[in-house]
Amino acid sequence: MHITLAPMEGVVDSLMRDMLTRIGGFDLCVTEFIRIVDQLLPKRVFYRTCPELHNNSMTPAGVPVKIQLLGQDPNWLAENAARAIELGSHGLDLNFGCPAKTVNKSRGGAILLKEPETLYQIVSEVRKAVPQGTILSAKMRLGFNDTSLAFENAQAIAAAGADLLVIHARTKLDGYKPPAYWNWIAEIKKVVDINIVANGEIWSAQDAVNCQIKSNCQDIMLGRGALALPNLAQIIKQGAAQMPWDEVRMLLVAYSGYEIFGDKGRYFPNRLKQWLGYLKLQYPQAGILFNEVRALKTANEIIPVLNKV
């Protein structure tokens, strides 16, 4: 089984990727999306989103990282994809699932699931622009308001030359509301001939097994579940025990150290609070901590609290 750490804008940054891949169980990471509108972005944008490019596009634990692009213009996406690969990204992923209103309003993300023809054009232009052998993947939901175009969209992506398709088994309208419709993935798998990765609502080893059975997919992607339970990938692969709270707390302290000494100090309070929001689903202690830091605005105020718990 191959487990990918899901791209999560605003929370799975290079520091989170570093921590989670050190714990183990992940085979691949995908960056937060880089928004492409109407230009070739400067190299520094790629390095900022994916500092791992300085390390052969690997996390320090040696897990490959691929860049994700989000946009609607096939040519600009193609140019930026070529740049990502030239800088060393371990393959390239295209986002056709983002539900954010601002993104959808400018025809990016999940809204493109209304236009299989546009998906085809984007994937084929990107395919042409990247060197042969580049692993090109796309990540889609089952649809925008409904699943009526699920097959057409997957077929368009495959026909245009993608190697791999990640399916988040919900529509945009479903948002993040359970359940994820894993059985839909199995249906899509019958009509496309590329590798498929199943995603959505995997919070435990049992969920992973159920997802594999219902989706008929070996490979899975973990998002919020891996933030709630940092060693979820190991639990799934090796039957490991749930990481004790004390180790999680050490991770939180390490995260704060990284953020302060890295160049993202100003993001730290929000990112930490967001992470605690997921951790509290599995650890009651994280809920208590969340309440204690909720009103704090700087890392300097938050760190002593983390050290004291």
Ligand X SMILES: Cc1cc2nc3c(=O)[nH]c(=O)nc-3n(C[C@H](O)[C@H](O)[C@H](O)COP(=O)(O)O)c2cc1C
Which residues are near ligand X by CB under 6 A? Answer: 6-11, 32-33, 68, 95, 97-98, 139, 168, 176, 199-202, 222-225
Distance in Å, CB of 207 to ligand X, minimum? 9
**Does the annotation count 211 as an active-site position?**
no
């001939």: which residue's tokens? 193
* CB closer to ligand X, 66 vs 139: 139
Distance in Å, CB of 215 to ligand X, minimum? 13
Longest distance between any two alpha carbons in the chain, whole Å: 56
Given 29, 50, 98, 217, the catalytic residue: 98
Which of these, 260, 184, 239, 182, lies nearest to 1 by C-alpha position? 239
* CB closer to ligand X, 268 vs 303: 268
Distance in Å, CB of 227 to ligand X, minimum? 8
Distance in Å, CB of 202 to ligand X, minimum? 5
Distance in Å, CB of 304 to ligand X, minimum? 27
* CB closer to ligand X, 234 vs 303: 234
Q: What is the 3-state secondary structure (H, E, C) of the chain?
A: CCEEECCCCCCCCHHHHHHHHHHCCCCEEEEEEEEECCCCCCHHHHHHHCHHHHHCCECCCCCEEEEEEEECCHHHHHHHHHHHHHCCCCCEEEEECCCCHHHHHCCCHHHHHHCHHHHHHHHHHHHHHCCCCCCEEEEEEEECCCCCCHHHHHHHHHHCCCCEEEEEEEECCCCCCCCCCHHHHHHHHHHCCCEEEEECCCCCHHHHHHHHHHHCCCCEEECHHHHHCCCHHHHHHHCCCCCCHHHHHHHHHHHHHHHHHCCCHHHHHHHHHHHHHHHCCCCHHHHHHHHHHCCCCCHHHHHHHHHHC
Distance in Å, CB of 34 to ligand X, minimum? 9
* CB closer to ligand X, 259 vs 303: 259
* CB closer to ligand X, 74 vs 200: 200
* CB closer to ligand X, 98 vs 289: 98
Active-site positions read: 98
